[in-house]
Amino acid sequence: MARVSIELDARWVRIVQSPLYWIVTALQGVSITFAPLILYWSGQGKFYPSWQWIVVPACFAAILLVGFFYVLLGNAVAGELRKKGTAA
């Protein structure tokens, strides 16, 4: 097993150390478990039918926000690993 150190942009360091990271981390569990379940219930009309106009977009936003955040962060890490020539 090799140990690798990478350098990230100051932008990513600020994001990871900011409250935004904690919000995304909290939404991670929601986007994986509850958002798909609530979407399923909303599709059946069992979860607050009068609030579907806000519930469904909020669930999709949580799922996409978390996914895009981690894809962008992973892209920055992978790009730095490739630049240093340490990728397997």
Domain boundaries, the chain: 20-76
Task: Please give the torsion angle defined by the CA atoms of residues 13, 74, 84 and 1, in that order, rounded to the nearest 10 degrees.
Answer: 110
The type of residue at 46 is: K
> What's the CA gap between 2 and 40, in Å, rounded?
43
Q: What angle do CA 54, 57, 63 make, to 5 degrees?
A: 135
Confidence of residue 57 (pLDDT cuts 50, 70, 90): very high
Quote the pLDDT of residue 1: 74
| Span 59-69, pLDDT tens digits | 899 889 888 88
| Span 4-42, pLDDT tens digits | 777 878 888 888 888 888 888 888 888 888 889 888 998
Confidence of residue 85 (pLDDT cuts 50, 70, 90): low
Instruction: Taking residues 35-62, report their average pLDDT.
Output: 88
